[in-house]
Structure 1
Amino acid sequence: MNKQFQTSCYWFFLLFFLPACAGSSWSAKTTSPQKITILGLGDSITEGGPGFDSYLFPLDSMLKAAGYPVVFTGPRQTTRNNKTLHHAGFSGKTAEYIAKQIDSIYTAFPADIVLLHSGHNHFAEEQPVKGIIAAQNKIIDVITQKNPDAIIFVAAVITSGKLPKYSYIPRLNREIKNMVISRRNSRIIFVNQQKDWDWTRYTISDNVHPNAAGAIHIAKNWFTAIKKHKN
């Protein structure tokens, strides 16, 4: 195992096993100050944009409030209220686009944790589900080949009221879940981001992108999944 993977294993131990063994609450003060890196990977739902919010910011606050010594990494950055977070969110881009870029992205930013939320930016007429699943498989393959100790959370993408364009999403989400289950890898984890998601409440006027409440809802689902896996 090379030095990079040894380091990743060490921090995986600190993040997910040491708290349970210690039998007490875990915080950044009780461990080394070195950070656990998180790569938010996806499209505008990850990046955020003019008039809508990104889950990155509430998630960062939730994790740090819980004592996780995390830092978000990636080739791009978004700033809100004088706070800047890095990520690999590419507005308007598809899962297939990310699959073509993932080798260079993850080589430059080999994060300990990856949050994959990608499936928008197609039209139902394209019948895109098969291609999206193939792209997500490639993304996961590249990451696990480069770092078998990476923890990859794979989202069922948020549903949308922009129809019929996004009428394929419910089927896509079933296939994403099946894909994750079929891998039988405890470090590849399905996160049901459509659970309790209501686009009439959680999106802006385009019925796609999250408003502030929607961003918090997405962040809570990520946070719950990370916390559950830690325990």
Structure 2
Amino acid sequence: MTRIMPIGDSITEGGSTFVTYRVPLAEKLAKAGYQAEFVGSRQSFGLRHEGYGGKNAEFLAATVPANFQKFPAEVVLIHAGHNHFVEEKPVAGILAATESLITALRTIDPKVVVLLAQVIPAGKLPKYAYIPELNVGLAALAKRLKVIGVDQATGFDWHTDTIADHVHPNAQGAEKLALRWFDALQRVVERR
């Protein structure tokens, strides 16, 4: 059994008006015969996780490592980068927080497999105008830290893949996220 910890904000947690990728991802893993269990200190949609609506990468770096100790996982999925404003010039801080999070997880478990997403684009502008720059940085960070980079941005269209707020995935968007995670996870999750 491979324990997977999804880490992120509301896009990971899900909400009352939008879908989370965790549900279709769990279905894909089970259907393909993988032995996987989602773990974390929180639960929604019947699946555990470390998703925190409205919180940013800095919050995750400060909060998740303690929960990772309590709920260990062989694999973590990180999708974090929203919940800042372009005026903050947040990219350097998000990248530093993401590196701090990964370093902390690896300190707890040096064998943890980290999948780091380039985050989905958002149409809530100018607030999220920094995301393209962030995604360049996240791809470079994945290479530098030798973690598995997962491009969740390419092919995700906020015009058709999000709900009316132009940020959170609709069912089609959640399916796209789940498929990208699934493709990457096939290399690291055990089959029955």
Instruction: Give the TM-score range, shorter chain.
Output: over 0.9
Q: 2:50 aligned with 1:88, yes or no?
A: yes
- Gaps spanning 5+ residues in structure 2: where? none
Q: 2:84 aligned with 1:122, yes or no?
A: yes
Which runs of at least 4 in structure 1 moved beyond 6 Å after TM superposition?
none
Give, in whole Å, the separation in 2 of the partners of 1:153 and 1:54. Answer: 17
Q: Please, which of 117, 123, 132 is the counterpart of residue 170 of structure 1?
A: 132
Aligned length: 190
CA drift of 1:36 comes to 1.1
Residue 6 (structure 2) aligns with? 40
Residue 196 (structure 1) aligns with? 155
Give the 3 Å change call, closer, same or farther, for CA 229–86 of structure 1 in structure 2.
closer
Q: Which amino acid aligns with 1:66?
A: A
Residue 215 (structure 1) aligns with? 174
Summarize deviations over 1:73-123 as a string: whole Å, max 9, x none: 1011112xxxx0010000000000011112211111110110000000000
Q: Which amino acid aligns with 2:100?
A: K
Residue 150 (structure 1) aligns with? 112
Give, in whole Å, the separation in 1 of the partners of 2:64 and 2:28. Answer: 27
Quote the RMSD (CA, aligned, Å). Answer: 1.2
| Contact 1:52-1:204 within 8 A present in 2 as well | yes
Summarize deviations over 1:10-60 as a string: whole Å, max 9, x none: xxxxxxxxxxxxxxxxxxxxxxxxx21100000000000011000000000
Of the two structures, which has the highest relative contact order with CA contacts closer than 8 Å and spacing of 6 or more? 2
Give the 3 Å change call, closer, same or farther, for CA 182–170 of structure 1 in structure 2.
same
SS in 2 for 1:74: coil
SS in 2 for 1:86: strand
Q: Please, which of 159, 165, 174 is the counterpart of residue 121 of structure 2?
A: 159
Give, in whole Å, the separation in 1 of the partners of 2:62 and 2:188. Answer: 29
Give, in whole Å, the separation in 2 of the partners of 1:227 and 1:99. Answer: 26
Residue 59 (structure 1) aligns with? 25
Give, in whole Å, the separation in 1 of the partners of 2:87 and 2:65. Answer: 29
SS in 2 for 1:51: coil
Give, in whole Å, the separation in 2 of the partners of 1:135 and 1:110. Answer: 20
Give, in whole Å, the separation in 1 of the partners of 2:7 and 2:138. Answer: 15
Give, in whole Å, the separation in 2 of the partners of 1:128 and 1:85. Answer: 30
Residue 24 (structure 1) aligns with? none
Q: Which amino acid aligns with 1:182?
A: R
Q: Which amino acid aligns with 1:129?
A: V
Give, in whole Å, the separation in 2 of the partners of 1:104 and 1:148. Answer: 15
TM-score relative to the length of structure 2: 0.96
| Contact 1:102-1:142 within 8 A present in 2 as well | no
Q: Please, which of 34, 45, 53 is the counterpart of residue 68 of structure 1?
A: 34
SS in 2 for 1:91: coil
SS in 1 for 2:149: strand
